[in-house]
Chain A
Amino acid sequence: MALGTLVGLFLGFAQISLVTPVKKGAWLTTHFFRNAPWLVLLFYCLFLLPFQVTVLGLTFPIPDWIKATFGLSLPVMANVSEIVRGALQSIPTTQWESAASLAFTRRQTLWMIILPQCIKRMLPPWMNLYEILTMATVLTSIVGVNEMMSLTRQALSAENRPGLLLAFYSYVLFWFFLYCYPIARWTVRLEARYAVNI
């Protein structure tokens, strides 16, 4: 999520760039990854990335979970990019104009004037995305990464007692809720903090 957010932020900036190739490139990247199914991207990364890399004679294996993280960060990046673009464009152009008239550079305007006003608008969709991503981590079980779902299934098959099914899956749901809820609360707090009479 952090990786996807960071890259997505810059991709979002690039989407409002004045340099046409940058803008077009960012647009294409965003829409390509946003409109691709997460599972396909996951498979893609798992089979396309090498099993190991050799740097200066040393061989490092790339574990599946890293590939899976990378695979999931691609759609996150694309979605964040759109969240950022939407928020940036929702700020009245008069803010850009007034910053320009005070001799701010475009970069200064973006970082100091436009982006701080965007945070409040970006938080709810960002939180949505974060929860969707959390839910999507179970996808990685399909490509063989040990996450909660695959562990649960292993435990269930080891026990071979159908009666436990409900209890186990309830337990999983409970943990997901426990993981997501505090973050949801935290974003609500953040929203309140950035809500200064705008």
Chain B
Amino acid sequence: MPATNAEPIVVVRDVHKSFGPVEVLKGVSLEVAKGGVACIIGPSGSGKSTLLRCINGLVPIDQGSIRVGEFDVHTLKTDAEKIALRKEVSIVFQQYNLFPHKTALENVMMAPIHVLKEGKDEVRLRAAALLKRVGLSAKADAYPGELSGGQQQRVAIARSLAMRPEVMLFDEVTGALDPETVKEVLNTIKALAQDGMTCILVTHEMRFAREIADQVYFTDGGVIVESGPPAQLFDHPTKERTRAFLSEIL
């Protein structure tokens, strides 16, 4: 694992967010070092996904601050500023959200061509290499509808990687998959983390979190109840709520 004392690339400070009368995030803070892997665990509705969406500016925050690399996310106003941020921070969703009218290869190629304005031939080579990296070279010309959930999710990961992000966010990426395909996706993420990619994962895969994370955050009711290195949090949780959650799930 990369050294955790490296400079933090993602700094979240006291973030509050409400949807209407419901306060989803009630002052959340976390830090992720460059090349580090953070896992966020917790029951549904505890604001985990919202937090990820806040980090890449998809959801504006009400209070607090978020810094990613050189971007102060909470101050970004214009679309152009948010677009600059999203070239650095990419998110992979639970429901894959591939573009159904494009083949796997085209899905990966689209953003580099139209957003990064790179040459088509070069992008094609890079996209093919990325599909190979996620083990899907054979499916390059398949449409998302012809792929299994796990395959679609790996295409989605390749699509995000094609933007050469500094930070990858994974929002319950295995949540919609059957147990067997979960593994192929997790292995892909693990390989990424080992290559030094900064990753923030929202996950229900506790064993995976323990294996891959430098730091695990347990959230409930819009706050971080407890955080720490996986060995400590999983084996010696200090808070009653954490213990209750872990005993339910493990």
Q: State the CA gap A117–B100 with chains docked (Å).
A: 8
Answer yes or no: B240 CB below 8 A from chain A CBs: no
A104 within 8 A of B: yes
| Shortest Cβ distance from residue A116 to the other chain B in the assembled complex, whole angstroms | 5
> A112 vs B109: C-alpha distance in the bound complex, in angstroms?
13
CB proximity to A under 8 Å, residues B27-76: 56, 58
Most buried by A among B98, B111, B163: B111
List A contacts of B14 (CB < 8 A): none
CA distance A116 to B91 in the complex (A): 23
**Docked complex: A158-198 residues within 8 A CB-CB of B:** 194, 196-198
Q: Which residues of A contact B114 (CB under 8 A)?
A: 104, 108, 112
Say yes or no for B110: interface residue by CB 8 A criterion.
yes
Distance in Å: Cβ of A81 to nearest Cβ of chain B: 23
Interface readout for B66-109 with A: 1 if CB under 8 Å, 0 if not?
00000000000001001110110011010101111100000000
- What is the total of A-B residue contacts with beta carbons within 8 Å? 68
CB <8 Å contact, A102 and B58? no
Q: Quick check: is A98 within 8 A (CB to CB) of the other chain?
A: yes
Q: Which residues of B contact A194 (CB under 8 A)?
A: 101
Q: What 0/1 readout, one digit per residue, does chain B (131-172) give for beta carbons within 8 Å of chain A?
A: 000000000000111100000000000011001000000000
Which of B86, B93, B97 has a CB less than 8 Å from the CB of A103? B86
Please give, as numbers and ranges, the residues of chain A lying within 8 Å of B191 by CB-CB distance: none
What's the tally of chain B residues with a CB closer than 8 Å to chain A? 28
A100 near B101 with CB under 8 A, answer no
* Most A CB within 10 A of own CB, among B56, B90, B99, B143: B99
Please tell me if B115 contacts chain A, counting CB pairs below 8 Å.
Answer: yes
Task: For the complex, give the distance between the alpha carbons of A167 and B72 in Å.
Answer: 77
Closest to B99 in A: A113
Query: In this complex, which of B87, B90, B114 has the most chain A Cβ atoms within 10 angstroms of its Cβ?
Result: B114
Contact indicator A103/B111 (Cβ below 8 Å): yes
CB contact under 8 A between A106 and B100, given known A94-B93, A101-B90: no
Question: Contact at A103–B143, with CB atoms within 8 Å?
Answer: no
Which chain A residues border B98 with CB–CB below 8 Å? 98
Q: Chain A nearest CB: distance from B239 CB in Å?
A: 33
Known A-B contacts A117-B100, A197-B146; the reply to A103 vs B83 at CB < 8 A is yes
Kindly list chain B residues whose C-beta atoms are within 8 Å of the C-beta of A117.
Answer: 99-101
Q: How far is the CA of A74 from the CA of B101 in the complex (A)?
A: 32
**CA of A94 to CA of B152 in the docked complex: distance in angstroms?**
15
In-complex Cβ contact of A196 among B79, B83, B145 (8 A): B145
Bound Cα distance from A112 to B111, whole angstroms: 11
By a beta-carbon cutoff of 8 Å, the part of chain A in contact with chain B is: 94-95, 97-106, 108, 112-113, 116-117, 194, 196-198
Counting from the closest, the 8 A-B pairs by CB-CB distance are A197-B145, A98-B97, A103-B86, A102-B111, A103-B83, A101-B91, A198-B100, A103-B115
Q: A100-B82, A101-B86 given. 13 additional CB < 8 A pairs?
A: A95-B97, A98-B97, A99-B99, A100-B86, A104-B83, A104-B115, A105-B79, A105-B83, A113-B99, A196-B101, A196-B143, A197-B100, A198-B100
